[in-house]
Structure 1
């Protein structure tokens, strides 16, 4: 499997975490673990999350959590999966077209004791 942008991003995250977390640094050096298998593990977790669908959106914290989990656990079996990842940065709010504000019709003022008034007021007068 050739190195992809996705793989490079995950590997950089894990290496940075190993620099700041000495406990994780030990698990990251396990001889029976590899970044390639870690990526396959992430794909398999996403595939399970998609529940047979062709696409699923997963936030980066979840993906990084899966990567760390792969290295932390010794008994993980990686399922063979079809690999395809599209990384999309969170979209900023799309520019909303200016829509005219609805014009509110003025309501006639009601007086206390008006027989047509069905709404109670907690503040005294309506």
Structure 2
């Protein structure tokens, strides 16, 4: 069972940081019979059992903490999964300029396509006056 390495690193960084300021958790985090691969396997199985497709970061972190806090915990069977971690991506000035050029090019192409398309005339619909009586006919 391997979650993506990035996912594993994000969880491990959180747990390392938490162990620095939470002495009770630090003791549980150093247990010899617990490791990060088993923790990731436990998280993936818990997520799978829930049937949900998305979780807040804090929910996943609490699953990891729970794994290390509990002595007798069933980690489940190995799962082959690709985990996506949401992160803010910082672009360089050059990447931003390139993205701006590409967006402008797409906008120009779209505007040109709209201008060169032939306009479609709407078919006139005629309403048959005999189908619906007026108030004055009664």
Secondary structure class of the residue paired with 1:25? helix
Structure 1 residue 2: Cα displacement:
8.0
The CA RMSD measured in Å over matched residues stands at 1.9
Deviations 1:6-50 (A, max 9, x none): 000000000000000000000000000000100011101110111
Q: Report the CA distance shift for 1:49/1:86 in structure 2 as closer, same or farther (over 3 A).
A: same
Partner of 1:4: 5
- Counterpart residue number, 1:41: 42
More helix by share: 2
Higher relative contact order structure (alpha carbons within 8 Å, sequence separation ≥ 6)? 2
Moved over 4 A (4+): none
Unmatched runs of 5 consecutive residues or more in structure 2: 89-138
**1:48 and 1:2 mapped to 2: Cα distance?**
16
Report the equivalent of 2:70. 73
Number of aligned residues: 86
Name 2:107's counterpart in structure 1: none
Task: Summarize deviations over 1:48-99 as a string: whole Å, max 9, x none.
Answer: 111xxxx610110000000000000011011112322112348xxxxxxxxx
